[in-house]
């Protein structure tokens, strides 16, 4: 049973003819009868002031109602916006506020493919959609069943994407201004930084607002994450078209850019100018590496598994092998991560950290000792030959625990499965 029911009147012309009202009354009564008891959200979507033209047929919204229809409409929430993108995004916000995922869309057949194209852009696999045909009226006020259009052309799809992108760009930043944490260790020939959670457009509480990762398990669609990334690129000064993220597998595999890209990897290295590489973090450590002598850089994602597997030194060794970097020239900056105040592991997993150095573990004799993955990472880097003064992990906001600071950072430990993601990024200036 659908948790939310949307009726698409976006392209429906309602006039005063009796048969029009009877058909509408029948549709709305049917929705109310079948769904009112179970559905938590009944919604009518329509256009406020523009028309949409497709294949020479213009869709207009003229919502003129009789007293009987007006009374029935009071049972439905009406969302009326200037564009399909704005209307569906507003509806998505209302659905997300209620934490709903099962949605029925009652839509005219000639608009079904168009509707699906917008939904594919604005929703993720968290949501389950079913579609039902709605009778529509064309000029003259006569209702008839329209022909379903099954194909969206490349030009039409680009038009849909442009409409969504334009709308998202118009949205204000949430939770404050965009903030980028930088390190004085990294020279000016690089663009680099670590993001926080402020200054983006993601509105879901655990993703608000500068979430930079989308997946099928989260409610933030790729278009929202891409808009956040566009704003970051503008603020930091890098080319968003040459931006790469690691493909996390909690391992020590490294992609040396220019070689064949693996299916998954937790580190990237490059010496290509103008290319921005990034590591994800939401308790795990996003690590940035830079060699100003050989003009090479790298990033790594270090969770507790990757830390023990040596992903940080694997990234360093890739830079040495591929670009001829020297250990004494490489500087390493650890981005914000969960601290030993909030991160625990079962004792059998904690033992490996204790063996590395007892200072990495607190309350080792407890069933779930507290682990300091930052200290472990520094120890492994120093053991590998990185100079202690070339490792920054305790300055500015870098050493703040992500779990302890919900105003600044996302955290898997704190927020659960629907957590947001910040990043560490670096590029060599062109």
How many beta carbons lie within 10 A of that of residue 268, not counting itself?
27
Determine the pLDDT at residue 193: 98
Q: Does the residue 326 lie in any domain? A: yes
Which pair of tokens denotes residue 192?
């680099």
In the chain, the N- to C-terminal Cα span, in Å, equals 55
> Domain count of the chain?
2
d(CA 87, CA 353): 51
Q: Does the residue 238 lie in any domain? A: yes
Residue 147 neighbours by CB under 8 Å, 6+ apart: 109, 110
Asked if residue 293 and residue 223 are part of one domain, the reply reads yes
Quote the domain boundaries for residue 255.
174-428
Asked if residue 178 and residue 164 are part of one domain, the reply reads no
Asked if residue 195 and residue 343 are part of one domain, the reply reads yes
Residue 136 pLDDT more than 80? no
Asked if residue 397 and residue 277 are part of one domain, the reply reads yes
8 phi, psi to nearest 5 deg: -90, 100
Please say whether the beta carbons of 323 and 329 come within 8 A.
no
**Lowest-pLDDT range of 41-55, 101-115, 249-263, 315-329:** 41-55
Asked if residue 93 and residue 157 are part of one domain, the reply reads yes
Domain boundary among 151, 169, 187: 169
Instruction: Give the residue from 117, 94, 239, 93 showing the smallest Cα distance to 171.
Output: 93
Asked if residue 242 and residue 273 are part of one domain, the reply reads yes
Q: Does the residue 58 lie in any domain? A: no
pLDDT average, residue stretch 310-339: 98
Residue 369 neighbours by CB under 8 Å, 6+ apart: 344, 345, 347, 350, 354, 361, 362, 363
CATH number at residue 393: 3.60.140.10
Q: Does the residue 56 lie in any domain? A: no
> Rounded to an integer, what is the distance from CA 68 to the centroid of its chain?
43
Instruction: Give the residue from 278, 291, 387 showing the smallest Cα distance to 335.
Output: 278
Asked if residue 195 and residue 120 are part of one domain, the reply reads no
Asked if residue 100 and residue 185 are part of one domain, the reply reads no
Asked if residue 195 and residue 158 are part of one domain, the reply reads no
Asked if residue 392 and residue 405 are part of one domain, the reply reads yes
Q: Does the residue 191 lie in any domain? A: yes
Determine the pLDDT at residue 395: 75
Determine the pLDDT at residue 48: 64
Asked if residue 313 and residue 300 are part of one domain, the reply reads yes
Determine the pLDDT at residue 150: 80
Q: Find which of 17-26, 98-107, 137-146 is predicted with most confidence, using mean pLDDT.
A: 98-107
pLDDT average, residue stretch 320-333: 98
- pLDDT tens-digit readout, 237-295: 999 999 999 999 999 999 999 999 999 999 999 999 999 999 999 999 999 999 999 99
Determine the pLDDT at residue 27: 80
Q: Does the residue 374 lie in any domain? A: yes
Residue 210 pLDDT more than 50? yes
Relative to beta strand 41-47, strand 4-8 is parallel
Q: Does the residue 104 lie in any domain? A: yes
Contacts 24+ apart (CB under 8 A), 348-351: 349/304
Instruction: Write the CA distances from 216 to 40, 120, 122, 201, 220, integer angstroms.
Output: 23, 12, 12, 19, 9
Domain boundary among 169, 191, 217: 169
- pLDDT tens-digit readout, 150-203: 889 999 999 999 999 999 999 999 999 999 999 999 999 999 999 999 999 999
Instruction: Write the CA distances from 302 to 227, 248, 265, 385, 408, integer angstroms.
Output: 26, 10, 11, 18, 20
CATH number at residue 20: 3.40.50
Domain boundary among 135, 169, 203: 169
d(CA 264, CA 430): 28
Q: Is 132 left (phi over 0), alpha (psi -120 to 50) or beta?
A: beta
Question: What SS3 string covers 373-411?
Answer: HHHHHHHHHHHCCCCHHHEECCCCCCCCECCCCCCCCCC
Determine the pLDDT at residue 84: 94
d(CA 147, CA 22): 22
Please say whether the beta carbons of 332 and 386 come within 8 A.
yes
Q: Does the residue 54 lie in any domain? A: no
Asked if residue 181 and residue 160 are part of one domain, the reply reads no
């Amino acid at each position: 049973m659908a948790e939310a029911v949307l009726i698409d009147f976006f392209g429906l012309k309602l006039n005063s003819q009796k048969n029009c009202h009877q058909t509408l009354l029948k549709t709305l009564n049917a929705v109310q009868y079948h769904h009112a008891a179970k559905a938590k959200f009944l919604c009518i979507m329509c256009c406020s002031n523009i028309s949409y033209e497709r294949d020479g047929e213009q869709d207009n919204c003229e919502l003129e109602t009789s007293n009987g229809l007006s009374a029935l409409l009071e049972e439905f929430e009406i969302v009326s916006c200037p564009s399909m993108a704005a209307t569906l995004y507003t509806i998505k916000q209302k659905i997300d506020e209620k934490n709903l995922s099962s949605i029925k869309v009652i839509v005219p057949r000639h608009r079904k493919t168009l509707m699906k194209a917008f939904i594919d852009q604005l929703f993720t696999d968290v949501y389950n959609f079913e579609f039902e045909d709605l009778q529509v009226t064309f000029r003259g006020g006569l209702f008839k069943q329209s022909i379903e259009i099954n194909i969206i052309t490349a030009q039409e799809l680009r038009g849909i994407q442009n409409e969504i992108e334009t709308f998202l760009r118009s949205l204000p930043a949430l939770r404050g201004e965009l903030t980028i944490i930088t390190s004085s260790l990294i020279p000016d020939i690089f663009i680099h930084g670590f993001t926080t959670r402020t200054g983006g457009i993601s509105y879901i509480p655990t993703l608000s607002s500068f979430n930079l990762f989308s997946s099928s398990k989260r409610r933030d669609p790729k278009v929202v994450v891409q808009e956040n990334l566009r704003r970051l690129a503008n603020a930091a000064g890098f080319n968003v078209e040459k931006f790469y993220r690691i493909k996390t597998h909690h391992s020590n595999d490294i992609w040396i850019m220019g070689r064949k890209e693996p299916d998954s990897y937790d580190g990237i290295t490059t010496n290509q100018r103008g290319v921005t590489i990034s590591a994800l973090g939401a308790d795990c450590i996003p690590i940035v590496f830079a060699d100003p002598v050989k003009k090479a850089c790298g990033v790594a994602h270090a969770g507790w598994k990757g830390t023990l597997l040596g992903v940080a030194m694997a990234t360093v060794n890739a830079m040495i092998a591929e670009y001829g970097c020297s250990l004494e020239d490489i500087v390493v900056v650890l981005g914000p991560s969960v601290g030993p105040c909030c991160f625990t592991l079962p004792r059998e997993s904690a033992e490996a950290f204790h063996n590395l150095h007892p200072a990495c573990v607190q309350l080792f004799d407890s069933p779930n000792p507290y682990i300091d993955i930052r200290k472990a990472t520094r120890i492994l880097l120093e053991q590998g030959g990185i100079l202690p003064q070339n490792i920054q992990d305790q300055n500015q906001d870098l050493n703040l625990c992500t779990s302890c600071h919900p105003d600044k950072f996302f955290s898997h430990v704190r927020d659960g499965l629907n957590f947001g993601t910040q990043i560490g990024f670096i590029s060599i200036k062109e």
